[in-house]
Amino acid sequence: MQVMRTIRALGLPDGIVFSGAVYQRVLNHLGGRDLDYGIKDYDVGYFDASDISYEAEDLVIRQVAAAFQPPLRDMVEVRNQARVHVWFEGKFGEPYAPLTSSAEAAERFVSPMFAVGARLDVDDRMEIVAPFGLEDLFARILRPNPKRRERSFAGIAAKAKARWPEIEVLDA
């Protein structure tokens, strides 16, 4: 909640907290674990197509970091979703078409279980973004994203299964 409130207060355009910061807490709750178990970072996306330079994104990264105290300062990882297509192929070896919003990024996550985001509206209502629904997450089913076949899914699934042995891995 602190991360979502801070992101909202900073006014990041189309700001959202997604991936591990959301699904890991759900898995931890369902498994009776401490909610922070296994959480290494808080992935934050925003969407600003007006300037997709590294310098513009770096400025936002520094502004966000300054808004947090340790240990959160080092755990919040913010990226402009409007520029992911610029670096993704070079880092991961597969093409990545430009996005039109932060929420659209979730459609490309490795698994429907991971494709969950949340943000706070101005009136403290939580908006959930889940392009594949929440069924896999609450059923603790890990399967590949049907829209994006990740070559390293088996390795990703093995790491998740080691952390949460109760999850069911399909099509690994």
**C-beta separation of 117 from 145 below 8 A:** no
Q: Is 66 left (phi over 0), alpha (psi -120 to 50) or beta?
A: alpha
- pLDDT by residue (tens digit) across 6-45? 999 999 999 999 988 999 999 999 999 999 998 999 999 9
Other Cβ atoms within 10 Å of 29 Cβ, number? 12
Give the span between the Cα atoms of 108 and 105, in whole angstroms: 6
Tell me the two tokens of residue 55: 């310098």
| Global confidence as pTM | 0.92
- pLDDT by residue (tens digit) across 98-125? 999 999 999 999 999 999 999 999 999 9
CATH of region 2-139: 3.30.460
Share of residues in the chain with pLDDT > 90 (%): 87
Closest of 48, 52, 43 to residue 16, by C-alpha: 43
Supply the DSSP symbol for 81. Answer: G
- Residue 172: pLDDT band (50, 70, 90) is low
Write down the domain spans for the chain.
2-139
